[in-house]
Amino acid sequence: MLRYNLAIALVAGALLVHPWATAVRAAEGDRPQERTVSVSATGSVAAEPDIATISTGVVSEAETAREALARNSATMAKVIEGLKALGIAATDIRTTAVNVEPRYHNTKDEAPRIVAYQVVNQVRITARDLKRLGEVLDQVVTLGGNQIGGIAFDVSKAEELKDEARKAAMANAQRRAKLYATSAGADIAQVLTISEEGPAAAPRPMARTALAASDVPIEPGSQRLEVKIHVTWALR
């Protein structure tokens, strides 16, 4: 008799629980989806470059690799000392490559023959006083530097200046979000998400230099720092 009553109680309990669970699931399925509006916008500021990166080097050639390396090292030492004398810090002079390569002479029906060795020593210089940039280039060439790969200008406080671009981007996003919401008969409420797009590797302004004169003309121009964001608002 006890087993029979217990079985009835379990069946009754199951009948009571099942309709309640179904009702909860039905309520969840009927819940209206939250309305949102997502906008992407950009903001930018103009900035004047205040630092320059110069790629330069010394190319030397001799009959033996040892002699070519010795000549190259002596010349590069003079270049580096001259740059330090102009106020370039040792931490702003970085060696980027040292290559020793044979030069071959090719003759028909004969194996290539080594006739000389070439040594290339390249450095990257960061110049923080653009007013003396022409003087720096002239010093490099005067002391034996015979390879200049290019000059790139940059803004040292770019991240701080980008904060103004971020404010402009947010204002643009909010203006557009309100426009879309109003057109749809709604209004924006609280911000749900904000994300900033990763920085793109934008090309930096390059300068062409005329190295025939001691006063090398340099024009750094200007840069535009841009920020792109993605914002989602709830609608009401």
CATH code (residue 186): 3.30.110.170
- Whether residue 26 sits in one domain with residue 68: no
Is residue 211 in some structural domain?
A: no
Instruction: Report how far residue 10's alpha carbon sits from residue 29's, in angstroms, rounded to the nearest whole number.
Output: 29
Instruction: Report how far residue 130's alpha carbon sits from residue 151's, in angstroms, rounded to the nearest whole number.
Output: 12
Is residue 217 in some structural domain?
A: no
- Whether residue 119 sits in one domain with residue 87: yes
Which structural domain range is residue 92 located in?
51-154
Radius of gyration of the chain (CA): 35
Check residues 191 and 221 and name the one with the higher pLDDT: 191
- Whether residue 7 sits in one domain with residue 23: yes
> Of the given ranges (22-31, 157-166, 205-214), which has the lowest mean pLDDT?
205-214
Check residues 155 and 16 and name the one with the higher pLDDT: 155
Query: What pLDDT, on a 0 to 100 scale, did the predictor assign at position 13?
Result: 40
For the chain, the average pLDDT equals 84
- Whether residue 149 sits in one domain with residue 66: yes
Instruction: Report how far residue 158's alpha carbon sits from residue 53's, in angstroms, rounded to the nearest whole number.
Output: 15
Give the helix ranges, DSSP H, for 86-209: 133-142, 158-183
174 pLDDT exceeds 50? yes
Quote the number of domains for the chain. 3
Which CATH number goes with the domain that contains 114? Answer: 3.30.70.2970
Q: Are 148 and 55 in contact (CB under 8 A)?
A: yes
Is residue 208 in some structural domain?
A: no
- Whether residue 80 sits in one domain with residue 148: yes
**What are phi and psi for residue 147, nearest 5 degrees?**
-145, 120
Report the amino acid identity of residue 225. L
Query: What pLDDT, on a 0 to 100 scale, did the predictor assign at position 24?
Result: 45
219 band by pLDDT with thresholds 50, 70 and 90: confident
Q: Are 219 and 133 in contact (CB under 8 A)?
A: no
Count of CB atoms situated within 10 Å of the CB of 122: 19
Query: What pLDDT, on a 0 to 100 scale, did the predictor assign at position 204?
Result: 54
pTM metric for this prediction: 0.65
Check residues 6 and 121 and name the one with the higher pLDDT: 121
Angle at 112 between CA 106 and CA 113, to 5 degrees: 100
Report the amino acid identity of residue 39. V
Query: Rounded to whole angstroms, what are the CA distances from 75 to 55, 78, 171, 225?
Result: 16, 5, 55, 39
Is residue 210 in some structural domain?
A: no
Angle at 12 between CA 11 and CA 13, to 5 degrees: 90
Helix, strand, coil tally for the chain in percent (to 5): 40, 35, 25
Q: Is 144 left (phi over 0), alpha (psi -120 to 50) or beta?
A: left
Query: What pLDDT, on a 0 to 100 scale, did the predictor assign at position 214?
Result: 46
